[in-house]
Amino acid sequence: MDVTATRRPWLLRKPTADSTYRLFLLPYSGVGASMYARWPARLGPAEVCLVQPPGRENRFREPHYGRYEDYAAALVDDIRPLLDRPFAFFGHCSSALAGFATALHLQRLGLPVPDRLFVSSEVAPHDGPYGRFLEMDDEALGVELAGLIRAMGGRPQPDAIEVGLGVLRADLAANRRYVFPEPVRLATAITVIGWTDDREIRPEQMVGWRDYSRDVRFVTLRGDHHAFLAAPPALRGEIMRDLERTARDADT
């Protein structure tokens, strides 16, 4: 059976059967997989696979996942047949925690783990929960959500803001619940990506990730908190550098 022919609710589009590497992109709080609309379909050796959590966009009628642990378990159940070749996760802000939770879940089950976890603009789990969004009221969150929609190239509409607020509140609640007393070591490499003009998470606040793997690489790129949305060349270059290195190592 061709697993790519089976509908996968957690992926926005079907992966191809002949891809040799898969890069799963996880959307962050309040929005869905379409936030990666400006990313290419491939990055180096990797096919880009857009993860779509429940409660948003084409899955808006489904109940929210609740906790990152439940997010990870449901995602793994869905994409497990696709983990038959090298893969990696990319998450920005809160979705970096979802990516970490999924990698940890795979590790604890004894299943294949990602070759690399790309963490953009997020503190390590034992240094959180952190972020000004966590303490905002609905009015302030609505302003931020409208700004994000504009950054994604859209026009904020009242109905869309109201729906997005419900998702955002639930996502932020999941973030608040995800508390680690101390670091947990992953059997996967980590690339930690900071941004020079990021007002939400400064690069120096991300150093705690160094305790989560034996192979941790820190990169600081030019741009603000939303710069990743356009998949700028510098970001694509750093991702491809790591993925191509992994592909070379697998061939030797």
DSSP 5-38: GS--TTBSSPPPTT-S-EEEEE--TT--GGGGTT
Question: DSSP label at 121?
Answer: S
- So what's the pLDDT on residue 162? 79
- How far apart CA 106 and CA 139 sit, in angstroms, is 38
- Locate 45 and state its tokens: 């050796």
The CA distances from residue 82 to 87, 124, 173, 223, in Å, are 9, 27, 30, 33
pLDDT digits (tens, 9 = 90+) for 131-147: 888 888 888 888 888 88
- So what's the pLDDT on residue 94? 94
This prediction's pTM: 0.92
Per-residue pLDDT in tens (0 to 9) along the chain, 252 residues: 455 555 569 999 989 988 999 999 999 888 899 999 999 999 989 999 999 999 998 998 999 999 999 999 999 999 999 999 999 999 999 999 999 999 999 999 999 999 999 999 999 999 999 988 888 888 888 888 888 778 777 787 877 777 778 888 999 999 999 999 999 999 999 999 999 999 999 999 999 999 999 999 999 999 999 999 999 999 999 999 999 887 666 555
Percentage helix, strand, coil for the chain under 3-state DSSP, each rounded to 5: 45, 15, 40
Contacts of 241 (CB under 8 A, 6+ apart): none
User: What SS3 state is found at 80?
Assistant: helix
- So what's the pLDDT on residue 4? 57
Q: Which helix (H) or strand (E) holds 242?
A: helix 233-251
- Locate 19 and state its tokens: 């891809």
pLDDT digits (tens, 9 = 90+) for 52-91: 999 998 998 999 999 999 999 999 999 999 999 999 999 9
